[in-house]
Amino acid sequence: MLNQEKSKAIFSEARKLMPGGVNSPARSFGAVGGQPIVIARGQGAYLHDVDGNQYLDYVQSWGPMILGHAHPAVVAAVENALRNGTSFGAPTEIENELARLLISQIPAVEKIRFVNSGTEAVMSAIRLARGYTKRNKIVKFIGNYHGHVDSLLVAAGSSAATLGVPNSPGVTPGAVQDTILLQYNDVDALIKVFEESGKEIAGVIVEPVAGNMGCVVGSSNFLYELRHLTQDNGAVLIFDEVMSCFRAGKGGAGQRFSITPDLITLGKVIGGGLPVGAYGGKAEIMDHILPSGKIFQAGTLSGNPLAMAAGLATINTLLESQCFNMLERKMALLAEGLEDEARTARIPVYVEHIGSMMTLFFLDMEKSKILAQVLETTVSGSKVVRSTATSSSGNSYSGKITDWRSASVCDTDRYAKFFWGMLERGFYFPCSQFEAFFMSTEITEAEIQKTIYAARDVFAMLC
Ligand SMILES: *Cc1c(COP(=O)(O)O)cnc(C)c1O
């Protein structure tokens, strides 16, 4: 058993001070039961908790820490920035440097604006899409998460899904009345909605590689169709690459699949562990933002010098080390190893991985049939367009995870047992079935082998 004495004491005090003891629900262990570990520090590939336990970190702050913790280049850059003052509310040269770097790496980005979180980036991009097209409707996919933006907080995957509140109280029917929900990867439904209301659609927001219902890759057919339909109908295509940029591929999933959206939202890795978000895209659209245009968006701490320094150091280090193939290879090694061990233990799993992202889905064939039917019915406040491709009989389930329907019916109890088994052995995986595992440059192949061996023990206990 894990010694959690100090963690438990700190967390029970936290519960009295902060709702649920946390500042973001995903870290509460709500989906796996028990109490979270309280982190004292992170170093390289490892997290150290307040009780002196050490864990190989596959969560990486839910994505940003692609260089591991306290990377010397990032520490040096932030220390240097810190000495020169932490915020001015005035232009700084380092904003140009990070902007230039991102523009050079991400084909979709001609101009960029920095904000302070992924949520803020998405919120601003949605406003821009609506202001630019002078239309109201936004298409969103079930199981995709775009931060806690009111109009998109419907069927939003991970935290929301994990904790059983797909539609948050406090989100008014008015806030979601212009949100159209579709199933991810459902080309037929997409074509249908554009036939019916194409000229009312301001934009479509999508995670081209979804990371918030677990890792689910958008099919190329689906993404190409999205590009063509939005283009033909004058709607703005927004790729939410807050998680996938520098993860699914060097310049994001869009670059990897050679599809250029009109706008892209960024966060996580581009801030190197400091609070950063950004949205960018075609200059012609971006120039509609105040002060070059009329669409309002502002931020006291936006483009903050510490955050810019951390992001710049992170991305420069990544590019200099040319580690993207290595990251992908290591992730494949882990994915294949876990899949093999699960199979040996006769535990049904489905593993999806791309770049430095992965999810190990624990399948539950029985539950899938019942829940597939439930999930096809309406989600309150928003219009659900039913797919013509999938029957409501629920027997189209193939064991492959392609959307929220197939993801949501996984065996979350079994995942919880796997999670705790691994945690007790010193491996920190996401505390939810519906989150991605991440690879960092600091995790070695030997450590991946150790992870696979530990998983073998855990799988043996699960069957
Ligand atoms: C994490 C995430 C967000 C929200 O970013 P925050 O910085 O947590 O506000 C938005 N979209 C996607 C795809 C994400 O993974």
Helices (H), 108-157: 118-133
Q: Tell whether ligand 1 has an atom less than 6 A from the beta carbon of residue 122.
A: yes
Mean pLDDT over 419-423 rounds to 98
**Ligand 1 nearest-atom number relative to CA 117:** 7
Using a 6 Å cutoff on CB, does residue 203 contact ligand 1? no
Dist CA 211 CA 247 (whole Å): 10
Q: How far is the centre of ligand 1, averaged over its atoms, from the C-alpha of 414 (Å)?
A: 26
Widest pairwise Cα distance in the chain: 63
Query: What's the CA-to-centroid distance between 289 and ligand 1, angstroms?
Result: 21
What pLDDT does residue 157 have? 61
Nearest CA to 149 among 205, 208, 108, 230?
A: 205
Banded pLDDT at 180 (limits 50, 70, 90): very high
Q: Is the CB of 183 under 6 A from ligand 1?
A: no
DSSP one-letter code for 378: -
Nearest ligand 1 atom to alpha carbon 243:
15
The residue type at 26: A
* More confident site: 132 or 172: 132
Count of residues in the chain: 463
pLDDT(110) > 80:
yes
Ligand 1 centre distance from Cα of residue 1 (Å): 33
pLDDT tens across 364-394, in order? 978 766 655 565 554 444 445 444 334 334 4
State the average pLDDT over residues 158-165: 49
Does the CB atom of residue 211 touch ligand 1 within 6 A? yes
pLDDT digits (tens, 9 = 90+) for 244-301: 999 999 999 999 999 999 999 999 999 999 999 999 999 999 999 999 999 999 999 9
Q: Is the CB of 178 under 6 A from ligand 1?
A: no
Verify whether ligand 1 is closer than 6 Å to residue 118 (CB atom). yes
Q: What is the pLDDT of residues 313-360, one digit of tens each?
A: 999 999 999 899 999 999 999 999 999 999 999 999 999 999 999 999
**Residue 347 C-alpha to ligand 1 middle, in angstroms?**
31
**Which pLDDT does position 153 carry in this prediction?**
85
- Alpha helices by DSSP H, 147-304: 158-162, 173-176, 187-197, 220-233, 252-257, 283-286
158 lines ligand 1 (CB under 6 A): no
Q: What percent of the chain has pLDDT over 90?
A: 86
Contact 162, 432 (CB under 8 A): yes
From the DSSP assignment, how many helices (H) and strands (E) are in the chain? 16, 17
Whether the CB of 253 sits within 6 Å of ligand 1:
no
Residue 448 is encoded by which pair of tokens?
A: 């991946």
Q: Which amino acid is at 271?
A: G
Q: Please report the pLDDT score of residue 156 as a whole number.
A: 65
Q: How far is the CA of 396 from the centre of ligand 1 (A)?
A: 31
- Check: CB of residue 147 under 8 Å from CB of residue 117: yes
User: Which pLDDT band holds residue 171 (cuts at 50, 70, 90)?
Assistant: confident
Q: Where does 65-117 have alpha helices with state H?
A: 72-83, 93-105
- Summarised one tens digit per residue, pLDDT across range 67-76 is 999 999 999 9
Beta strands in 158-314 (DSSP E): 179-183, 201-206, 209-210, 216-217, 236-240, 263-266, 277-281
Task: Give me ligand 1 centre to Cα 243, in Å.
Answer: 7
Best residue among 242, 245, 265, 356 to mutate for probing ligand 1, ranked by most atoms within 8 Å of CB: 242
Contacts of 40 (CB under 8 A, 6+ apart): 48, 49, 50
- The HSE-up count of residue 127 (CA atoms within 13 Å, CB side) is 18
Cα angle value 372/179/270 (rounded, 5°): 90
Asked if the model's pLDDT at residue 24 lies above 90, the reply is yes
pLDDT on residue 96: 98
Q: Residue 358: what are its φ and ψ, rounded to 5°?
A: -155, 155
φ, ψ for residue 43, nearest 5 deg: -145, 120
Q: Does the Cβ of 242 fall within 6 Å of ligand 1?
A: yes
Mean pLDDT of the chain: 92
Instruction: Judge if the beta carbon of residue 267 lies within 6 A of ligand 1.
Output: yes
Ligand 1 mean position to 405 CA, how many Å? Answer: 21
**Ligand 1: which residue has its CA nearest to atom 15?**
243
Ligand 1 within 6 A of 341 CB? no
The pair phi, psi for residue 441, each rounded to 5°, is -65, -20
Quick one: pLDDT band at residue 154, thresholds 50, 70, 90? confident
pLDDT tens-digit map of 183-195:
999 999 999 999 9
173 pLDDT band, cuts 50/70/90, is confident
Alpha carbon of 126 to ligand 1 centroid (Å): 14
**By alpha-carbon position, which residue is closest to atom 5 of ligand 1?**
118
- Per-residue CA distances from 306 to 70, 80, 241 (Å): 14, 9, 22
Task: Report which of residues 137 and 159 the model is more confident about.
Answer: 137
Q: Is the link from the previous residue into 305 a cis peptide, with omega within 30 of 0?
A: no
For the CA of 118, the closest atom of ligand 1 is: 5
Which residues are tagged catalytic? 145, 240, 268
- Helix or strand or coil: residue 332? helix
Instruction: Give the pLDDT score at 398.
Output: 62
- Give the confidence band of 432 by pLDDT, cuts at 50, 70, 90: very high
Among 298, 252, 302, 292, which residue's Cα sits nearest to residue 132?
292
3-state secondary structure 25-61: HHHHCCCCCCCCCCEEEEEECEEEECCCCEEEECCHH
Residue 199's pLDDT is 96
Q: Report whether residue 207 contacts ligand 1, using a CB cutoff of 6 Å.
A: yes
Is residue 209 within 6 Å of ligand 1 at its C-beta?
Answer: no
Residue 451 CA to ligand 1 center (angstroms) comes to 27
What atom of ligand 1 comes closest to residue 212's alpha carbon?
15
Best of 65, 116, 124, 146 for a ligand 1 pocket test (most atoms within 8 Å of beta carbon):
146
Ligand 1 nearest atom to the CA of residue 119, by list position: 9
